[in-house]
Amino acid sequence: MSTSLRGYFNRGLETPEGKRMDILHNLFQGFQIIFQPDNIMFCFLGVLLGTLVGVLPGLGPTGAISILLPATFRMSTTSAIIMLAGIYYGSMYGGSTTSILVNIPGEAASVVTCLDGHEMAKKGRAGAALGISAFGSFIAGTAGIIGLMVFAEPLAEFAILFGPPEYFAVVLLGLTLITHLSSGSVIKALAMGILGIILSNIGLDPIYGTPRITFDILQLGDGISLVPMAMGLFGISEILTNIEQASVPEILRTKIKGIFPTLSDWMHSKGPILRGSLLGFLLGILPGGGAVIASFVSYGMEKRISKTPELFGKGAIAGVAGPESANNSAAAGAFIPLFTLGIPANVVMALLFGAFVIHGIRPGPFFLKEHPEIFWGVISSMYVGNVMLLILNLPLIPIWVKLLRIPYKILFPLILLFCIIGAYSINSNMFDVLVMVVFGIAGYFFRKFQYECAPLILAFILGPLLELNLRQALLYSSGSLSIFFSSPISIVLIGFSIILFLSPLVPHFKPKRKGPL
């Protein structure tokens, strides 16, 4: 984006009213950016691909973004981020379709939608389930964007106060939360996080330039590239796991009618949608949170506060509306830590962080001031993208259902080939393809033994930030650890990290509970 355009963004109004005007003015400028032909095209492409990968089981947003990262090298940064972000929130819409119709979630944030969504479909209410999930996603997605728009700037201004100890504390808390909130064993997730930090140390030392763990391999001098690594861990390993499976899921052959929810459906869904929007947004901001956890927490909350909890799991519309709203607003909230602190809250944000770095931009507290055109361009693209998604998802549901019938034997060679071309095109050498395959094999075994790959990738991205701030802080303080406890921010953050870090050990010392949890 041209630097001249940056001048249009109004940044000097300090009163509350002035700030409101400021936001509206910037948003207006953002809309001018998104309505440029190439940006609107990439926005459409992003949400279309997002819906597609959301619908197709076996390829989630993480895999899709990893595969498409190299394709963004030649785009402008704004177009690239608009497209990649579109894939992320687009997949949140698409994921529900497979959950409802096939009882197989298209991606992880729609797992919980299977419980009531598929039950509704079995009772002939597939249309209403798909409809309320699309409308809920739209309302919550829009609410999430408003939250992002309002909170990002004050948070970025606050983050300017951060020095190396505070940054170290935030990164440490982020890493601890990511491992703590992962779905499997916390100890295994911690081990994966540490492994990610070790892998991020490969290459030249940032302060002394000493080569580390390069085994005299020239290509390792710059470290392992994020793209082939992510493609291997998420794309190749997924393919290897899927081709082992013998059975192909059957699609429920039901006529989809009545995608516009009835008045009674709305009455039952308005509360879950509003609560899901708020909860999802808050959990989305949390490092390690994101859409998956938001959907589970929303389902649990709706079931707990419902007057008819016995209907949950048997086709309650609130069990679809709540989680589907929560995962969409979480997708918007997750952008906040990336844009304001430069810290990715989840693995998709980590890949977006990678995309920024590839384009020579480092997100952080100064990002909004230095690149307002990207921030506001992406924000307005989300408004436009959500409208596109509503149109794509409601009338076109029969087409998406037909896509589900593409056999995996045709799909997987294509995904594999795109991975190969994607990895190769980064530096035009086979080393990156080899790295991808090696991490594919590693990812396959990680899946088998239930080690999650998300903490590894996040730690890999955050590792250099953690190391640099740790070493800088220690250099400033002449080796005194008290620097990490010199400001209230770092005391609170490190305190939380320590509590969370030690908490997995606690259950092993407690007497065993009897009966169901």
Partner 1 sequence: MRLGIGTLKNPGPGFLLFWAGIILGILGIIIALLAHSKKKERVKTSDLWKGLKWDKAILVLISLFIYILLLPTVGYLIMTFALLFLLFSILERSALWVPVVFALITTVTTYMIFHVWLDVHLPQGIF
The helices-and-strands tally (H runs, E runs) of the chain is 25, 2
Closer Cβ to partner 1, 246 or 517, answer by number: 246
Shortest reach from residue 467's CB to partner 1, in Å: 5
Shortest reach from residue 345's CB to partner 1, in Å: 22
> How far is CA 182 from its chain centroid?
13
CA distance 465 to 448: 31
Shortest reach from residue 93's CB to partner 1, in Å: 27
The structure tokens listed for 193 are 């996080």
Closer Cβ to partner 1, 221 or 413, answer by number: 413
Closer Cβ to partner 1, 508 or 510, answer by number: 508
Question: Could you tell me what percentage of the chain is helix, strand and coil, using 3-state DSSP and rounding each to the nearest 5?
Answer: 75, 0, 25
The structure tokens listed for 124 are 């002939």
Q: Are 169 and 489 in contact (CB under 8 A)?
A: yes
Closer Cβ to partner 1, 182 or 393, answer by number: 182
Closer Cβ to partner 1, 25 or 471, answer by number: 471
Shortest reach from residue 424's CB to partner 1, in Å: 7
Q: Are 415 and 235 in contact (CB under 8 A)?
A: yes
Closer Cβ to partner 1, 16 or 516, answer by number: 516
Shortest reach from residue 410's CB to partner 1, in Å: 7
Secondary element (H or E) of residue 156: helix 126-159
Q: Are 175 and 457 in contact (CB under 8 A)?
A: no
CA distance 206 to 217: 18
Shortest reach from residue 110's CB to partner 1, in Å: 25
Give contact residues for partner 1 (rule: CB under 8 A): 71, 74, 187-188, 190-191, 194-195, 197-198, 201, 205, 207-208, 210, 212-213, 239-241, 243-246, 407-410, 412-414, 416-417, 420-421, 424-425, 428, 430, 433-434, 437, 440-441, 444, 448-449, 463, 466-467, 470-471, 474-475, 478-481, 508
Shortest reach from residue 443's CB to partner 1, in Å: 12
**Burial class of residue 238 in the structure, from the number of CB atoms within 10 Å of its CB (0-12 exposed, 13-18 middle, 19+ buried):** buried
Closer Cβ to partner 1, 314 or 471, answer by number: 471
Shortest reach from residue 78's CB to partner 1, in Å: 20
Shortest reach from residue 408's CB to partner 1, in Å: 7
Closer Cβ to partner 1, 41 or 414, answer by number: 414
Shortest reach from residue 70's CB to partner 1, in Å: 8
The structure tokens listed for 69 are 């990262």
Closer Cβ to partner 1, 212 or 369, answer by number: 212
Q: Are 401 and 190 in contact (CB under 8 A)?
A: no
Report the b/e string of 116-147 with b at 16+ CB within 10 A. Answer: bbbbbbeeebbbbbbbbbbbbbbbbbbbbbbb
Report the b/e string of 298-337 with b at 16+ CB within 10 A. Answer: bbebbbeebeeeebbeebbbbbbbbbbbbbbbbbbbbbbb
Closer Cβ to partner 1, 188 or 268, answer by number: 188
Closer Cβ to partner 1, 16 or 209, answer by number: 209
Closer Cβ to partner 1, 81 or 175, answer by number: 175
Q: Are 340 and 362 in contact (CB under 8 A)?
A: no
CB atoms within 10 A of CB 465: 21
Shortest reach from residue 201's CB to partner 1, in Å: 5
Q: CA 171, 375, 73: angle at the middle one, nearest 5?
A: 85
3-state secondary structure 396-460: CHHHHHHHCCCCHHHHHHHHHHHHHHHHHHHHCCHHHHHHHHHHHHHHHHHHHCCCCCHHHHHHH
Shortest reach from residue 224's CB to partner 1, in Å: 14
> How far is CA 113 from its chain centroid?
18
